[in-house]
Structure 1
Amino acid sequence: MEVIVMAGQLILGLSILVGLHEWGHMAAAKLFGMRVEKFYIGFPPKIFSLQRGETEYGIGAIPLGGFVKISGMIDESMDTAAMSSEPQPWEFRSKPAWQRLIVMLGGIIVNVIVGIFIFVVLAYNEGEQILPSTELNKYGIVASPLAEEIGLKTGDKIVKVNGKPYNDFRDIIGPEVLMGSNSSYTIDRNGEEIQIDIPNNMIEQLADLDEKGTFILPRAPFKIGELAPGSNAEKAGIKVDDRIIGINGAPIRYFDELQAELKKLKGKQTTVVVQRGAEQKSLPVEVTPEGTIGFGSQTLLNFTTVEYTLPQAISAGTADAFGVVYNNIKGFGKIFRGEVSASKALSGPIGIARMFGGVWDWGKFWRLTGLLSMVLAFMNALPIPALDGGHAVILSYEIISGRKPSDAFLENAQKVGMVLLLGLMAFAIFNDVWKVIF
């Protein structure tokens, strides 16, 4: 079921973004009087289509892209037969270069607008939930095995990032820190300040260990937030708002301590001590083979919600959207400098689906869709033949020089670009499968 939910979210998100991207091309083309022959979401074989005026609208069976076919344009269809005839007034090739440039940038522009819109709406509706550094440092952090490898320990209190105080927990796990060069934490460990250097290839290590969400977590006291129906916790008599203070004779204060004890007791019967108001109860409970008893925890840390006015949401959402582009540029820089391998940094459809997760969460869905919209805009803007950015470079040359490249050059550039893109797609899919298997 989780696989179906992942695939469903990926297909829906990509269909929305690709549909809007291709609509941007089509709308610009129609604005300048160009004939749009086809508008498709998904690649052939065709599932469904209908004719409206001069344009055939359809859905393809492969839901990982889409296309528009504009008369008189050399595109991924490589239909060059009509290019030998005299240009017609409604064709792409007969229009001024500046109009053709706007058509090629139409998809990118729409994706940027969509990405900003999604982030602005999320900022306005949800505000921003932060965990202040003062609250985080009441109990310190939970260090994952990877965090321990670089020198961190559970219970450490992070007091500075790159030598400066910080405001929010996300400041210590943000891309500007984990993707930066020569980043560091200053920690308080039992009253002693220690500097922990963050390796320049940290992002690669996180991707390799699949620990992007658990590299560092806030250490927190907790209570029972919800019980899974029919779970061992429910059968044992544990109730919502109970606080587990002991298990198998070991005192429990933090959720990470409970998780560690449950791992030791997989598949065994044990005794849990809960605090219920002023009363303590000892309850027998069976631990599952996975090391759980079936409840959701509720942190007792005090998060702060910052609510935005519309102008503030526009500012914050726009900054979040363009932050995605900035992080992608930094990521490519690390790949080109050899600090991160492409196989660890790049993800294909399987990797993206795993980002959505196996539970349908609309907030997370729209946040990832907004992120993907900005990534799609950035990737399409790259100056690679067959991508919008490649077309834009050629058209910019034509505008500046006043000389139009030959059709033969455009055809060959398109072929080279298609080979590069198909190779990159094959690499990404193979890389995803390799990560899953190994």
Structure 2
Amino acid sequence: MLAYIIGVVLFALGICISVALHEAGHMLTAKAFGMKVRRYFVGFGPTVFSWRRGETEYGLKWIPLGGFCDIAGMTALDEVTPEEAPRAMWRFKTWKRTVVMSAGSITHFLLGFVVLYLMAVTMGLPNIAAASEPIPPVIDATSCARAATTTAQLNDESCPPGSPQPAKAAGLMHGDKILSVNGKPTPAWTDVLKVVQDAGGPTPVVVQRGNATKNLVIDIPRVKRLTSDGTVREVGMMGAKTVVPPANLHYNGLTAVGATFSFTGTMFAQTAQRLVQFPERIPAVVSAIFGGERDPNTPVSVVGASRIGGEAVQQGLWQLFFFLLASLNFFIGVFNLLPLLPMDGGHIAIVWYERVRDWIRGLRGKAAGGPVDYTKLSAVTMVIVVIGGGITLLTVTADIVNPIRLQ
């Protein structure tokens, strides 16, 4: 239980640090361009403590959920003092404002990349190809064919004296690739198991050994085995193991760079796919709240992600813990760039709308237009805020009453 609590706290702390660094990304880029940053605070609510350094007030608030960065004149409609006016954010070039507004998401991307890189050089990155592709029927070693009616017997890989070794007796060797069993093609190891389990007695097997093709006959015995559905039944067994691809791939400090970039690209594609599927998964969240089975692919809140992180630590699955933390950073980064207010992507979209609009007006010999009136978009913004709040409430509720659990 203690490990679970530690995992929950660590994951929640990781999220808080990520969001705080998100705001730090805005602050540092704004300062680099010469914009005035009034305040940078971690958390919300009443102030715990604060201090002023230069023209910026820094501090910590009681509710450690996120933070904020107050940049003078983010839009032309914001009030600024005469002293702040020359350095108001809206006066800067479009590309500079874009960099500042996207810096939060870029920070999330960098954090996710760093987490994955550290995983690559320590515990390894998940072997996505091995997880998504069928295991090829390449023999690693031969073994015996013996009965196993309990879980303990299944886990015991020793061969009792006198146990038949049909694959070895037939001449099957390490590195042989099984092409067919009993005349049926076997492109994957699962195909081999299916045919062998239904077979019995002398069975023709065709294998590829180097550049040659060998025809073997394996005398397959029928033995009693505990199956995945918990029942015991008699199946055919030839006594051979396949080469199982490693679940994790390890790298050194140099090769980890390319591997991390490649893995990050895969995660970005998966993140985009989850965003597209996000709306259609909401009904499943509602169903889970009222007792339906919780689909592990449904969205989770910070509460749910922290609970999964806690279970990962409790079970010693630190790779899953850090993988989940990196995934969450990528998701937040991409989600925040959606061209919808009040996200940063919405502000970026408006900035570039003004830029393109003024460019077109210039081609037509007209003066630049005024700034977009954000107040006219308040209704749309409120709708998005209400929808976002509703989804957050649903996911938090589901993560409390019917959470996703590690198996």
TM-score category, normalised to shorter length: 0.5 to 0.7
| Structure 2 runs not aligned, ≥5 long | 144-178, 180-184, 199-222, 233-242, 287-294, 359-368
**2:61 aligns to what?**
60
Amino acid at match of 1:50: W
In structure 1, what is the Cα distance between the partners aligned to 2:3 and 2:224? 32
Cα shift readout 1:336-380 (whole Å, capped 9, x = no counterpart): 567984655211122101221243655443332222211111111
**Secondary structure of 2:122 counterpart:** helix
In structure 2, what is the Cα distance between the partners aligned to 1:424 and 1:135? 50
Whichever of the two has the greater Rg, that structure is 2
- CA shift, 1:399, in A, is 1.7
Amino acid at match of 2:307: R
- CA shift, 1:104, in A, is 0.5
Moved more, 88-97 or 66-75: 66-75
Counterparts in 2 of 1:94 and 1:424: CA distance versus 1, 3 Å = farther
**Secondary structure of 2:16 counterpart:** helix
Alignment check: 8 A CA contact 2:121 2:256 kept? yes
Amino acid at match of 1:393: A
**2:203 aligns to what?**
none
**1:280 aligns to what?**
none
**1:123 aligns to what?**
120
Cα shift readout 1:30-54 (whole Å, capped 9, x = no counterpart): 1111111222222223333222222
**2:389 aligns to what?**
422
* 1:40-189 correspondence to structure 2 within 5 Å: 40-73=41-74, 82=79, 88-128=85-125, 133=136, 134=138, 188-189=193-194
Amino acid at match of 1:23: A
Amino acid at match of 1:317: T
Alignment check: 8 A CA contact 2:116 2:125 kept? no
**1:354 aligns to what?**
307
In structure 2, what is the Cα distance between the partners aligned to 1:335 and 1:397? 27
**1:370 aligns to what?**
326
In structure 2, what is the Cα distance between the partners aligned to 1:432 and 1:338? 14
In structure 1, what is the Cα distance between the partners aligned to 2:347 and 2:307? 32
1:386 aligns with 2:383: no
Cα shift readout 1:296-350 (whole Å, capped 9, x = no counterpart): xxxxx97746442444322221222232221122223334567984655211122
In structure 2, what is the Cα distance between the partners aligned to 1:339 and 1:39? 35
In structure 2, what is the Cα distance between the partners aligned to 1:84 and 1:65? 27
Counterparts in 2 of 1:364 and 1:331: CA distance versus 1, 3 Å = closer
In structure 2, what is the Cα distance between the partners aligned to 1:85 and 1:417? 34
**1:314 aligns to what?**
257
In structure 2, what is the Cα distance between the partners aligned to 1:324 and 1:349? 19
**Secondary structure of 2:342 counterpart:** coil
In structure 2, what is the Cα distance between the partners aligned to 1:405 and 1:34? 20
In structure 2, what is the Cα distance between the partners aligned to 1:45 and 1:252? 68
- CA shift, 1:405, in A, is 0.7
**Secondary structure of 2:57 counterpart:** strand
- CA shift, 1:81, in A, is 7.0
In structure 2, what is the Cα distance between the partners aligned to 1:137 and 1:408? 71
| Count of paired positions | 299
**2:201 aligns to what?**
none
**Secondary structure of 1:47 counterpart:** strand
**Secondary structure of 1:57 counterpart:** strand
Counterparts in 2 of 1:314 and 1:84: CA distance versus 1, 3 Å = same
Alignment check: 8 A CA contact 1:34 1:90 kept? yes
1:406 aligns with 2:373: yes
* 1:206-221 correspondence to structure 2 within 5 Å: none
Counterparts in 2 of 1:96 and 1:420: CA distance versus 1, 3 Å = farther
Cα shift readout 1:109-149 (whole Å, capped 9, x = no counterpart): 1211221222122213334576765589999xxxxxxxxxx
In structure 1, what is the Cα distance between the partners aligned to 2:142 and 2:356? 61
In structure 1, what is the Cα distance between the partners aligned to 2:390 and 2:36? 31
- CA shift, 1:58, in A, is 2.1
| Structure 1 runs not aligned, ≥5 long | 140-158, 168-184, 194-250, 262-300
Counterparts in 2 of 1:128 and 1:335: CA distance versus 1, 3 Å = closer
Amino acid at match of 1:433: I
Alignment check: 8 A CA contact 1:38 1:56 kept? yes
Amino acid at match of 2:115: I
Alignment check: 8 A CA contact 1:47 1:58 kept? yes
In structure 2, what is the Cα distance between the partners aligned to 1:349 and 1:138? 48
In structure 2, what is the Cα distance between the partners aligned to 1:186 and 1:409? 62
Amino acid at match of 1:321: T
In structure 1, what is the Cα distance between the partners aligned to 2:279 and 2:387? 17
Cα shift readout 1:182-236 (whole Å, capped 9, x = no counterpart): xxx968424489xxxxxxxxxxxxxxxxxxxxxxxxxxxxxxxxxxxxxxxxxxx
> What TM-score results when the alignment is normalised by the length of structure 2?
0.60
